[in-house]
A and B are shown apart, each in its own frame.
Chain A
Amino acid sequence: MKRQLPFLLVFLFGAFMVFQYYVPHESSEFVYEFLLDWVMIIGIFALALGIWSLYTVSVDKIRHKKENWAYSYVTLIGLFIMVVLGFTYKVGDSWGFYSVFVISLMTLLGFLIQTSVSKDKGLWLGLSGLSLVVALGIAFTDDSWGIAFMTSEGLSNTMFTNFADFVLTPILATMFSLLAFFIASAAYRAFRARNILATLLLIAAIIVMLRFNPYMPFGLPEYMAKTSNWLMNVPNLAAQRAIVIGIGLGIVATSLKVILGIERGYMGKG
């Protein structure tokens, strides 16, 4: 029963989702929307599980002093500080004791990690409690800022937007920009005219790279643009179509195998 029930559920819901696509009746739509809501709800549980997993993995890394363990502190502080900033907002003209509140919460986090890591749990637990008391004390007495769980005021918290705009965005953009250097180095090493196919690839790459180059004589820019357009619209299109059709058929086959219980990988070892 432990195995049969999941198979039955997968078969019933999988088959329903296939057939409802062709049934534009309001009851079919109602069940469909109901199921979409369920997917979202299950997903939210997965999010909570993900955060807990990140916390335990990071704490485990700190406890066993694994390679680059110190970065786990940065991960956890980054995670929780954004949560705190995203749920709080300024009410008055100044932030009052808000910075003390944030620091005490981050200290609480540090002490909780130490509680998990250290043998002297009592001391760290006591200090955690003290930090929590300070944070709660400020939260209840300081009127210059507020906490918003159900509304979106926190999204306009300047500290929240500044962290996103001036820390997160440049870091991610920089990481991606570094690709240009690796691509340049890889192109230099890989694009060698060793045989006919490699030569064709090399010529095609140069034409596509030069297609917007205006500094060439004898009307070459126009010729390059036309050739590049042909490369994209004929050989590339043909190859991509074959790939897309292949992937599509593969998805249909795999989905049918899952619905019919032939493919059971999602059940794990159980």
Chain B
Amino acid sequence: MTEKKNIFDKMMTLDRRWVFLFLIVVCVATYAADFSIPINTEQETESIFNFLDSLPPDDIVLIAIDYDPNNLAELHPMTYAVVEHLWRKKVKVIFTSLSQLGPAMADQAIRDISDSLKIDKTYNYNGVEHNFKGREIVNGVDYTFLGYKPYYALIILGMGQDFRLNFPNDYYGTPLDDLPMMQGVINYDQVACVVDLSGGNITDAWISYGQGRFNFPLMLGLTGVMTAQYYPFLGSGQVSGIMGGLLGAAQYEELADNPGRAKDGMRVQLFAHYVIILFIVLGNIGYFMSRRKNLEGGN
């Protein structure tokens, strides 16, 4: 005869489908509800924002879209926040994509951000009001999209010699020499910094073969689970800043006074974390009470 489970045993061995159900209900409800949560910024993200914000117009930033649709929820908001901030300030951008499905991500982001740049906007950050006139973003003038090439370590090394070595033409087939913004731009020496938005180990190559060899300022935007792994490089100065997961993207949006999809997603993430903590607490109460009961029974 099987022993009847008490409430504490049930708390410990809850069917995982209840966890799934509860989580999806909370996610959908918080997504549907229209409210935002306050975001506190951290120094790791502030250093990226401050560096990019200090760049004068016509400087060039290389943004590596090294993620696939898997990491879209966390990393796409970073791309939108960073690129919109740069383009509003008339900083030029070279995009690369060293992950296989990255070009589609970059192409989609370029199209969307170009559209949002057409309208006038006012941002209020660092205690100052910044008015930006809407303008047309032009390929070859405001940005160059180099596209994808396999063997990311070799491409990172190759771009250190000359962008044209691996990318004689841009993603759309135009020779780099025909693009106005690429005139006189040879390699990383003409780039103010590299921002790698990555969901995989391409970041290691940017640190080892890129920053290590060519010594440019490198900033990272990583998925939440990757972030802890890259703190040593922040401490050693090889990396100038890290945006970690959706929170990092939301912090950048907060700093740039440009609330978008990251701040929108943060409320869902916060309440999902509440659910996870609730179940952890329930499981532990069940565990301790069951253990106590067993000890008492043993005595």
Contact = CB atoms under 8 A, between A and B. Distances in A.
- Specify which of B151, B270, B280 lies most central, judged by the most chain A CB atoms within 10 Å of its CB: B280
Given A180-B23, A185-B16, A233-B235, A210 B277 contact: yes
B161 interface: yes
Given A169-B69, A191-B283, A33 B165 contact: yes
B64 interface: no
Interface stretch (B35-43, B53-61, B115-123): B35-43
Interface string A31-52: 0010010011001000100000
A244 B232 contact: yes
Nearest to A191: B280
Contact of A188 (B68, B227, B232, B279): B279
Given A173-B69, A210-B277, A151 B228 contact: no
Nearest to B281: A206
A172 B39 contact: no
B120 to A, nearest CB: 28
A153 B174 CA distance: 11
13 contacts: A36-B158, A153-B173, A161-B104, A171-B69, A183-B276, A188-B14, A193-B288, A202-B284, A210-B277, A213-B274, A225-B40, A240-B228, A241-B235
Given A43-B150, A152-B172, A189-B283, A210 B273 contact: yes
Given A33-B161, A193-B284, A202-B280, A155 B172 contact: yes
A29 B161 CA distance: 9
A232 B231 contact: yes
- Specify which of B69, B73, B266 lies most central, judged by the most chain A CB atoms within 10 Å of its CB: B69
Interface of A: 29, 33, 36, 39-40, 43, 47, 151-153, 155-156, 161, 164-165, 168-173, 175-177, 180-181, 183-185, 187-189, 191-194, 202, 206, 209-210, 212-214, 221-222, 225, 229, 232-233, 236-237, 240-241, 244
B272 interface: yes
B171 A155 contact: yes
Contact of A181 (B23, B70, B266, B270): B23
Contact of B228 (A39, A171, A236): A236
Given A184-B279, A214-B37, A237-B231, 20 more contacts: A33-B158, A36-B158, A40-B154, A165-B108, A168-B69, A168-B101, A169-B108, A170-B69, A172-B72, A187-B279, A188-B276, A188-B280, A188-B282, A188-B283, A189-B16, A192-B283, A202-B280, A214-B40, A225-B40, A232-B228
Contacts of B101: 164, 168-169, 172
Interface string B144-175: 00000111001001100100010001011100
A225 B44 CA distance: 13
A152 B277 contact: no
A173 B42 contact: no
Interface in B129-152: 149-151
B137 to A, nearest CB: 17
Contacts of B274: 213
B47 interface: no
B158 A233 contact: no
B31 interface: no
Q: Which 5 A-B pairs have the closest CB atoms?
A: A172-B69, A152-B173, A176-B70, A188-B279, A169-B69
Contacts of B229: 240
